[in-house]
Amino acid sequence: MSSDVSSLVTLAQTEPVFPEIQWAALSPTLIVLGAATLGILVEAFVPRRARYATQLVLSVLALAAAFSAVIVLAVGDYGTSEALIAGAGAIAVDGPALFLQGVLALVALVSVFLFAERRLDPAEHGRPVDSFAAQPAALPGGPAEQQAVRAGWMTTDVFPLLLFATGGMMIFPAANDLLVLFIALEVLSLPLYMLCALARRRRLLSQEAAVKYFLLGAFASAFLLFGIALLYGYAGSLGYARIAAVIGGTPPELDPALAATMGNDALLLIGGAMVLMGLLFKVGAVPFHMWTPDVYQGAPTPVTGFMAAATKVAAFGALLRLLYVVLPGLRWDWEPVLWGVAILSMVAGAVIAITQTDVKRLLAYSSIAHSGFILAGVIAVSPDGVSSALFYLAAYSFVTLGAFAVVTLVRDPQGEATHLSKWAGLGRRSPLLAGVFALFLLAFAGIPLTSGFAGKFAVFRAAADAGAMGLVVVGVAASAIAAFFYVRVIVLMFFSDPQPGGPSVVIPSPLTVSVVGLAAVVTLVLGIAPQYFLDLAGQAGVFVQQAAATAR
Amino acid sequence: MSPENYLYLSALLFTIGACGVLIRRNAIVVFMCIELMLNAANLALVAFSRMHGNLDGQIAAFFVMVVAAAEVVVGLAIIVMLYRSRHSASVDDASLMKL
C-alpha cells in the first residue's frame, strides 16, 4: 500500500538547484526580445494615433541599446579571452556570436527606418501611408480595406514583428544547443512569414510570397528538426559540446545505450545532413534556393531588404558554428557536399540572374550567388575562413539593404517600378540615385574600392590558402558572369534613352535617405580601408567550445 | 517492445509527411503533412530519450509542440488570407510570379 502511494509522489530536493544564467552576457538578445514584447503591449494599449511614433522610438531605442550592449561585451573581451557559454550551456557568447549580433542589430536598426518611411506613396485621405497594408486581414480592394484606408489605420505591428525576428536572428548564430537552434530558427522565421504578406500594393503577390515562404520554410524546418532528433539519438544529448565529443569518439561517460547508438553512423550522417539542409535553406543556397526569387519579389521591399540582409547573416552564423563546433569530426564527409553546394550556388545564381527582367528577382538570384561565395570561405575551415566569412556578411548586408532601399524609391503610379525596362535612362533623370545604385551593383560585382571586392578577396584568399583552388577558380568565373549583368543594369541606367511614361524617383523622408547614405558610406569605407574591419573580424573569428566533461 | 520499432514508425511517418508535402495540392493538406513530419520528429525524440535514459528529448518534444502550435497560428492565418482573396487554397494556383 505504502509503495503504491510513494510511487505517486517524488521527493523534494532539499537544496533546489538553479541554473546559473549570465544575464549580462545575454543582454543584447534580451533587450531586443523585451522591446518586442513591449511593442505588442503598445499595440494593445496605446491609442492608434500615437502608435506609429511610439513603436518607432521604442524599436530604435531597443536596437541601439542592443548594439551598445554588444559593444560593451566586446570591449569587455567577451569576444576573445572571456568567451563563455551562458544560460546553462545553451548560448555561446564568443567572437563570432558578438560580431554577428552587432551586425544584426545595426541592420535591423537601419531596416526600422525603411519600415517607417511614409513619404513614398501619395497620402491617402490626408494621411501619410507606409509600405504596409492598412488592414492586412481584409480582402484586397474590399469594403473593409477601403474603410480601414479611409480611417487611416496602419499596421504598426510590423515593428514588434521585426524585433522578434531580430531577436531570433541574434540567438541563431549563438545557439550552443540543438534545441535552442530550432527555437531560434522558428522565432526568426514566423515573424518573417507574416511580414511578407503585408504589402500595401500588389497584395496578391505579397500573399503568394508569404504562402510559398511559409510552406517551404516549415518543410525545411521539419527536416532540420528530424535531423536534430537523429543527432540526439546518436549522441544522447542536444548540447553541441557533448555531440562533438561523441562524434570525436571521446564521450565523458559511456553507458550501454550510448555505446550502441555511437556505433550507428547512419544516425550521425543522416542527422547531420538533414540539419545542414535546414540551414542551407535559410541561407538560400542551391539546391535549396527555390523560394528566394518569389519571396524576394513578392514581399514588401523594406521587408525584402531586411530579410535578404539579416537572415543570411544569422543563418551563416549558425552554419559556421554547427560545422566548426559540432561536426568538425565529420569534415571529410561534409566538405565535398558543401563544395558542390557552393559551386552550384555560384554558377546557377550568376547564370540565371542574366535572364531576369525584374530588379527584385535579379537581386534575389545575385543573393544566391553570394551565398555560394560565402560558402567558399566557410569551407576553408581555418581562422581566416571564419573571419573572411564574417567580414563578407557584414559588407554584403549593408550593400543589400542599400540596394533594396533604392528599389523602393523608383516608382510609377502602380507602385514600385521593378521591371528592368522601366529603369532605362534613370541615370539621366536622377543621376544621384542611379549613381548610388551603380555603386551598390559594383559592390555586388566585387569591383575594387567597394566592400564587395574586399569581401570576395578575403573569402577567396582563405579558400585558396586552404587548398580549395578549384572553388576559387569557379568563384572567379562566376563573379565574371555576375559582373556582366550588374554592368548591364548600369549601362541600361546611364546609356539608354528614358522611356516616355517611365517611373519617377520620389523624394523620400530623411529616414530612407539616411539608409541609402549609410549603406553607401559603409560600402565605400569597407572598400577603401577594409583593414581595420578585417582585423576586427579576425579577432572575432574564434568559436568558444565547452569542455565536454562539464557539458550535459 | 523495443524502442527501435518506434524509430521505424517515426521514419515512416516522416516519409509519408514529406511525400504528402510534395504531392498534395491543397495548402491546408500540405500544411497538415508538415505537422505530421514535426510529430514524427517528436516521436523519434521521445523514443531516443527512452533509449538513452535522459529527459532531454522529452523536453525538446514539449518545445516542438509549442512551436508547432505557433506555426499553426501563423500558417493558417496566411493560408486563410490567400483563400479569401483567391477562393482557392490550391498551391498550384498561386503562380503569379512564374517567369
**Whole-angstrom Cα distance, residue B83 to residue B78?**
9
pLDDT band at B99 (very low <50, low <70, confident <90, very high): low
pLDDT computed for residue A1 by the predictor:
40
Decide if B48 and A218 are in contact by the 8 Å CB cutoff: no
Cβ neighbours of A532 (radius 10 Å) = 10
Q: A-B interface: how many C-beta pairs under 8 angstroms?
A: 143
Q: Which residues of chain A have pLDDT under 50?
A: 1-6
Tell me which chain B residues have a C-beta less than 8 angstroms from the C-beta of A232: 45, 48-49, 56-57, 60
Domain assignment present for residue B95? The answer is no
Beta-carbon contacts of A529 under 8 Å, excluding residues fewer than 6 positions away, are none
The Cα of B78 is separated from the nearest Cα of chain A by a number of Å equal to 6
Domain assignment present for residue B58? The answer is yes
- Which among A140, A257, A361 has the least Cβ separation from residue B53? A257
Decide if B52 and A136 are in contact by the 8 Å CB cutoff: no
* CATH (domain of B41): 1.10.287.3510
Tally of domains in chain B:
1
Domain that includes residue B80, residue range? 3-86
Domain assignment present for residue B22? The answer is yes
Domain assignment present for residue B51? The answer is yes
pLDDT computed for residue A12 by the predictor:
62
**Whole-angstrom Cα distance, residue A338 to residue A421?**
37
Residue A186 CA: distances (Å) to CA of A98, A111, A209, B19 = 21, 20, 18, 23
Are A419 and A395 in contact by the 8 Å Cβ rule? The answer is: no
**Whole-angstrom Cα distance, residue A331 to residue A463?**
15
What global pTM score does this model have? 0.94
Domain assignment present for residue B93? The answer is no
Domain assignment present for residue B98? The answer is no
- Residue A109's nearest CA partner among A333, A310, A383, A294 is A310
- Which among B67, B77, B85 has the least Cβ separation from residue A203? B85
Q: Which residues of B46-77 are buried (b: 16+ CB within 10 A; e: fewer)?
A: bbbbebbebebbeebbebbeebbeebeebbeb
Say which residue the cell 506613396 belongs to: A121
**Whole-angstrom Cα distance, residue A115 to residue A131?**
7
Q: Which residues of A202-239 are buried (b: 16+ CB within 10 A; e: fewer)?
A: bbbbbbbbbbbbbbbbbbbbbbbbbbbbbbbbbbbbbb
Residue of A nearest to B88 (CA): A208
pLDDT computed for residue A78 by the predictor:
85
Burial class (CB in 10 A: 0-12, 13-18, 19+), A362: buried
Domain assignment present for residue B78? The answer is yes
As beta bridge partners, residue A358 has A419
Are B53 and B46 in contact by the 8 Å Cβ rule? The answer is: no
pLDDT digits (tens, 9 = 90+) for A82-133: 888 888 889 999 999 999 999 999 999 999 999 999 888 888 777 888 889 8
Task: Over range B6-25, report the average pLDDT.
Answer: 95
Q: At what angle do helices A431-445 and A383-409 cross, to 10 degrees?
A: 160
Best of A196, A201, A208 to disrupt the B interface by mutation (most B CBs within 10 Å)?
Answer: A208
Are A489 and A368 in contact by the 8 Å Cβ rule? The answer is: no
**Whole-angstrom Cα distance, residue A485 to residue A350?**
8
pLDDT computed for residue A136 by the predictor:
85
Domain assignment present for residue B91? The answer is no
